[in-house]
Amino acid sequence: MNTEQVLAEIREANLSYLMLAQSLIRADRDQALFRLGVSESSAELIAALTPSQMMKIAAGNTLLCRMRCDDDLVWGLLTSHGRAAANDGVSRLHASILMAGRHQEAA
């Protein structure tokens, strides 16, 4: 994949992310804050964006969304390495609790 293809993929991901984020925020603000990991002020800004503003923001060469799973513990829980399938639900719940706690710390 060359540089132009990567930049086109970033722009597409940015636009998809902004559209999804705006839709989630408008549908259920509290749940959107948790799922997106954004602050109340960021949510207000995203909700107010016009389609042309979203296109302009998405056109940048920097990915707007980021991975919230930034440590080995959460990745281990999500991938269930070395665990039986029966514990998969418990592991995902544990990972969600950890990420929710980190969202609260960031907000």
Based on the domain organization, do 72 and 88 belong to the same domain?
A: yes
CATH code of the domain containing 14: 1.10.4000.10
Based on the domain organization, do 6 and 47 belong to the same domain?
A: yes
Based on the domain organization, do 34 and 17 belong to the same domain?
A: yes
Show the domain range for 48: 1-66
What pLDDT does 58 receive?
97
What pLDDT does 66 receive?
81
Distance CA 98, CA 82 (A): 20
Q: What is the mean pLDDT of each run of 10 residues along the chain (107 residues)?
A: 94 97 97 91 97 96 83 72 59 67 54
What pLDDT does 51 receive?
97
What pLDDT does 4 receive?
94
Based on the domain organization, do 102 and 85 belong to the same domain?
A: yes
Q: Alpha helix (H) ranges present in 28-87? A: 29-36, 40-48, 51-58, 72-79
What pLDDT does 102 receive?
58
Based on the domain organization, do 92 and 62 belong to the same domain?
A: no
SS3 52: helix
